[in-house]
């Protein structure tokens, strides 16, 4: 059965790949992002474009209202919009920390608030929250980013229990290393924030690691995640979590096995090896 789905952060990377994958499977897809011009190829492929800024409440309300007017229902919400704000906690301005939380967590929660009444009236729906393996593990200089991803994991667990009586499933997708523009944006933020502070050596080392992910054979293409999202939206009984792509399952297995201190050491080793 064809589903009506909203995908946020659809202008590039995982979001754009997800829109294409869902269209190919015969679903009606609303692609939302701030940069509408970058989504024109998706419109050509059959997507319906929405100007959507997850830090602007009026924008989110208008997007959901338009979907209801056009389609009369909403079967799936893919919360993919987000970015990585990197830098030492000491260096990151609090205003930037708030913006990271606003984009990665608050905007996601607000869209869920707007979508839930529609799904509840239907008696069905799927909410797919894109977190990261970064919602289960950590690295230096990524405190604000990882804090938001840990938060989305917890939010999703609570929400899953709240919405189950109404026939609404909540699914978490945890990508590993994925070849998108995300790493370039994170690297730029990192060097801008901590590249000339007491954390310079760590920042330069970590920036080299992020640069390496753009060409590494260990990194997966965005369509790997898109395929997982499609599965989470359409299987009869989805898993609560899907780790996918770029060594995700390996990293999360190590996280379960190792103590916190051992995992700290493992991360230091990985950063040292991949940043040389």
Structure-model confidence comparison of residues 114 and 188, the more confident one: 114
Based on the residue annotation, tell me whether 145 is a catalytic residue of this protein: yes
Longest Cα–Cα distance in the chain: 56
> 132-139: long-range contacts at Cβ-Cβ below 8 A with a sequence spacing of 24 or more?
132/174, 132/175, 133/174, 133/175, 133/176, 133/243, 133/248, 133/251, 133/252, 135/172, 135/174, 136/174, 136/252, 136/255, 137/251, 137/252, 137/255, 137/263, 137/267, 138/263, 138/267, 139/206, 139/267, 139/271
**pLDDT tens digits along 145-199:** 999 999 999 999 999 999 999 999 999 999 998 888 888 888 999 999 999 999 9
Q: How large is the average pLDDT for residues 252-258?
A: 96
Of all residues in the chain, what percent carry a pLDDT higher than 90?
A: 88
Write down the pTM of the prediction: 0.94
Instruction: Note the CATH number of domain 4-274.
Output: 3.40.50.720
pLDDT at 1: 83
Do 119 and 177 form a contact (C-beta atoms < 8 A)? no
Q: How large is the average pLDDT for residues 205-215?
A: 81
In which band, very low, low, confident or very high, does the pLDDT at 214 lie, cut at 50, 70 and 90? low
pLDDT at 164: 98
In which band, very low, low, confident or very high, does the pLDDT at 90 lie, cut at 50, 70 and 90? very high
**pLDDT tens digits along 29-62:** 999 999 999 999 999 999 999 999 999 999 999 9
pLDDT at 125: 98
Q: How far, in whole angstroms, is CA 87 from its chain's centroid?
A: 19
Question: What's the rounded Cα separation, in Å, for the pair 6 and 4?
Answer: 7
In which band, very low, low, confident or very high, does the pLDDT at 248 lie, cut at 50, 70 and 90? very high
Q: At a CB cut-off of 8 Å and minimum separation 6, what does 236 contact?
A: none
Q: Which of 30, 86, 145, 242 is catalytic?
A: 145
- Mean pLDDT across the chain: 95
Question: What's the rounded Cα separation, in Å, for the pair 156 and 144?
Answer: 18
Q: How large is the average pLDDT for residues 68-92?
A: 97
Per the structure block, which two tokens stand in for 6?
């909203």
């Amino acid at each position: 059965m064809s589903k009506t789905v909203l995908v946020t952060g659809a202008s590039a990377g995982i979001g754009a790949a997800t829109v294409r994958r869902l269209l190919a499977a015969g679903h009606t897809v609303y692609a939302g992002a701030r940069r509408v011009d970058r989504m024109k190829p998706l419109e050509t492929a059959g997507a319906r474009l929405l100007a959507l800024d997850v830090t602007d409440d009026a924008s989110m309300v208008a997007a959901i209202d338009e979907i209801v007017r056009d389609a009369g229902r909403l079967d799936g919400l893919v919360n993919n919009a987000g970015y990585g704000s990197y830098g030492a906690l000491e260096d990151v301005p609090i205003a930037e920390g708030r913006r990271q939380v606003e984009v990665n967590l608050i905007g996601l929660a607000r869209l869920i608030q707007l979508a839930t009444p529609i799904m509840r009236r239907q008696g069905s729906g799927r909410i797919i929250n894109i977190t990261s393996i970064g919602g289960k593990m950590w690295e230096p200089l990524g405190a604000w980013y990882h804090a938001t991803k840990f938060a989305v994991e917890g939010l999703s667990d609570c929400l899953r229990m709240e919405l189950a009586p109404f026939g609404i499933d909540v699914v978490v997708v945890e990508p590993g290393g994925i070849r998108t523009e995300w790493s370039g944006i994170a690297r730029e933020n990192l060097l801008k924030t901590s590249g000339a502070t007491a954390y310079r050596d760590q920042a330069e080392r970590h920036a080299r690691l992020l640069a390496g992910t753009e060409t590494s054979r260990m990194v997966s293409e965005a369509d790997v995640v898109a395929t997982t999202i499609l599965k989470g939206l359409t299987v009869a009984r989805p898993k609560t979590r899907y780790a996918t792509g770029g060594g995700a399952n390996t990293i999360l297995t190590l996280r379960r096995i190792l103590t916190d201190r051992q995992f700290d050491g493992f991360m230091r080793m990985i950063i040292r090896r991949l940043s040389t």
